[in-house]
């Protein structure tokens, strides 16, 4: 182990950072205390994005595809997976590559007009 770094296990789905591996934590990272704080902040962004999505979901007349909150969540997920990839073990990197999640999150194919002035796009 690199000096000052610790192995941690992360589940994006369950919003968990654990010191021991279990069935719910597929991603292993090696981080120092400052990087752990960054990881915790990134996980918090996802939690806040989930809360926003739950509030936004019942609005039936407007898609959330171009909603600022949705874009923040997508950006947060991209930053989290990038962090996990950058600090992950070989197995973690391979799992993220196999998921092909980074290109999908960065390259949406939406180009529809009509979302610029949405009241929920704040």
The 10s digit of each residue's pLDDT in 85-101 is: 999 999 999 999 988 88
Quick check: 65 pLDDT over 80? no
- Using DSSP, state whether 100 is helix, strand or coil: coil
Confidence grade of residue 122 (pLDDT, cut at 50, 70, 90) = very low
The 10s digit of each residue's pLDDT in 50-61 is: 555 555 555 565
Q: Which residue has the higher pLDDT, 69 or 96?
A: 96
Residue 76 and residue 46 in contact, taking contact as beta carbons nearer than 8 Å: yes
Candidates 79, 78, 39, 71; CA nearest to 52 is 71
Residue 1 and residue 30 in contact, taking contact as beta carbons nearer than 8 Å: yes
CA distances in angstroms from 24 to 59, 71, 106, 120, listed in the order given? 32, 26, 25, 34
Identify the pLDDT of residue 11: 95
The two structure tokens encoding residue 43? 């996980």
How many beta carbons lie within 10 A of that of residue 68, not counting itself? Answer: 14
The pTM for the full model equals: 0.70
Confidence grade of residue 107 (pLDDT, cut at 50, 70, 90) = low
Identify the pLDDT of residue 75: 80
Quick check: 47 pLDDT over 60? yes
Quick check: 38 pLDDT over 90? yes
Identify the pLDDT of residue 60: 61
Sign of the CA dihedral running 62, 65, 71, 72: positive
């Amino acid at each position: 182990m690199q000096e000052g770094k610790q192995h941690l296990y992360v589940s994006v789905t369950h919003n968990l950072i654990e010191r021991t591996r279990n069935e719910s934590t597929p991603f292993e990272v090696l981080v120092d205390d400052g990087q752990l704080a960054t990881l915790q902040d990134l996980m918090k962004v996802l939690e806040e994005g989930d809360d926003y999505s739950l509030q936004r979901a019942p609005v039936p007349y407007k898609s959330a595809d171009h909603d600022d909150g949705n874009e923040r969540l997508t950006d947060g997920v991209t930053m989290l997976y990038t962090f996990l990839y950058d600090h992950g073990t070989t197995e973690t990197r391979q799992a993220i590559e196999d998921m092909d999640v980074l290109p999908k999150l960065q390259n949406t194919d939406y180009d529809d007009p009509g979302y610029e002035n949405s009241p929920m796009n704040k």
